């Protein structure tokens, strides 16, 4: 049994997804994940009866999460349809064509109003990082930290949010995120920091694929309530609220499916199909990039502040 705070944590969702390991075919794993996800919502109880209550002991937190829980339990049909649509799009990819599937994904994003919540350009006017393992290149040459030259695009590999042959620039928003992504100690990495120009991004559209519900419940609300502010789940000026539950569910399901852990990696990586289609669709429609959460394990960290946002990686097609 879980509560809304624990359920939307990245680590908890990763555990649920890993329970599908051993099942043949990715579409069957997605169907199983859907069943587990829905069953967990059915069994979900108030934060007041969960151990995390000790961490977030403000009464306002319980009232807000109870209201949210009530809406979530009443939206089971929406959860089911969010999964079914994405599974069907994946099946179109493997049985029809990439083009048909990508167009259906784009229609889905528009229908569910998932394209309206963008990252503000001011979000990128902050330090971002790139790193390479030390040795074998000139660490003082800043160009060595950028992507493979376009003339060598055939060397660009297959990654979760970038399509083979379409180079994009990956940035971490912390050195810690880079050590996780590259699976290296910080002392073994040469790191370069970049400060993007706000004017360059002012007109850019960047899609945000973050754990929006989890971030709100676990990072934002405790701060608001501990400061003595009163916030209700019914307030429509704030997001999320009772009116946005359908969109919140669709956005959350999309994010959780895009970050599905890989069990095997071969030439074809089924877990990368949906995030790569999303990247392709966004680039085709003029987006400059995508902010996405890391799929690496951060559970070995202790004492990190709950506002630390080290789990976001940043990739864009035209940052340089």
Q: Which residues bind Zn ion (CB under 5 A)?
A: 3, 5-6, 50, 52
For Zn ion, the closer of residues 3 and 109 by Cβ is 3
| Residue 2 to residue 293: CA distance in whole angstroms | 22
| Residue 63 to residue 241: CA distance in whole angstroms | 13
| DSSP state for residue 58 in the 8-state scheme | -
Question: What per-residue string of b and e applies to 31-50 under the rule 16 or more CB within 10 Å gives b?
Answer: ebbbeebeebbeebeebeeb
For Zn ion, the closer of residues 5 and 206 by Cβ is 5
For Zn ion, the closer of residues 252 and 276 by Cβ is 252
For Zn ion, the closer of residues 3 and 254 by Cβ is 3
Find the shortest distance in angstroms from Cβ 48 to Zn ion. 10
Find the shortest distance in angstroms from Cβ 70 to Zn ion. 16
Sign of the dihedral through C-alpha 65, 3, 314, 129: positive
| DSSP state for residue 218 in the 8-state scheme | I
For Zn ion, the closer of residues 8 and 272 by Cβ is 8
Lookup: tokens for 154: 């055939």
Find the shortest distance in angstroms from Cβ 105 to Zn ion. 32
Please enumerate in sequence order all residues whose Cβ is within 8 A of that of 53, keeping only pairs 6 or more positions apart, or say none.
Answer: 3, 47, 62
Find the shortest distance in angstroms from Cβ 219 to Zn ion. 15
Find the shortest distance in angstroms from Cβ 81 to Zn ion. 26
Find the shortest distance in angstroms from Cβ 303 to Zn ion. 20
For Zn ion, the closer of residues 102 and 211 by Cβ is 211
CB distance 261 to 271 below 8 Å: yes
Angle between helices 245-258 and 59-74 (to 10 degrees): 90
| Residue 235 to residue 132: CA distance in whole angstroms | 46
């Amino acid at each position: 049994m879980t509560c809304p705070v624990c359920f939307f944590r990245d680590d908890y969702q990763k555990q649920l997804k890993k329970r599908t390991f051993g099942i043949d075919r990715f579409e069957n794993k997605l169907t199983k994940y859907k069943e587990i996800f829905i069953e967990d919502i059915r069994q979900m109880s108030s934060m007041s009866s969960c151990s995390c209550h000790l961490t977030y002991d403000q009464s306002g937190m319980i009232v807000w999460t109870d209201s949210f829980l009530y809406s979530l339990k009443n939206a089971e049909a929406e959860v089911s349809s969010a999964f079914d649509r994405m599974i069907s799009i994946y099946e179109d990819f493997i049985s029809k064509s990439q083009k048909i599937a990508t167009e259906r994904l784009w229609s889905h994003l528009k229908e569910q109003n998932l394209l309206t919540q963008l990252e503000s350009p001011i979000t990128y006017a902050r330090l971002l990082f790139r790193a390479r393992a030390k040795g074998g290149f000139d660490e003082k040459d800043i160009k060595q930290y950028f992507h493979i030259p376009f003339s060598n695009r055939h060397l660009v590999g297959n990654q979760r949010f970038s399509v083979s042959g379409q180079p994009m620039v990956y940035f971490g928003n912390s050195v810690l995120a880079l050590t996780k992504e590259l699976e290296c100690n910080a002392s073994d990495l040469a790191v370069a920091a970049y400060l993007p120009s706000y004017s360059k991004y002012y007109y850019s559209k960047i899609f945000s694929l973050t754990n929006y519900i989890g971030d709100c419940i676990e990072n934002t609300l405790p701060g608001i309530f501990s400061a003595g502010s009163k916030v209700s789940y019914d307030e429509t000026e704030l997001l999320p609220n009772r009116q946005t539950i359908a969109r919140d569910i669709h956005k959350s399901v999309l994010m959780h499916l895009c970050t599905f852990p890989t069990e095997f990696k071969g030439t074809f990586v089924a877990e990368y199909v949906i995030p790569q289609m999303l990247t392709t669709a966004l680039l085709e429609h003029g987006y400059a990039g995508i902010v996405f959460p890391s799929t690496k394990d951060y559970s070995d960290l202790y004492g990190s502040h709950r506002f630390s946002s080290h789990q976001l990686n940043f990739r864009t097609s035209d940052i340089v």
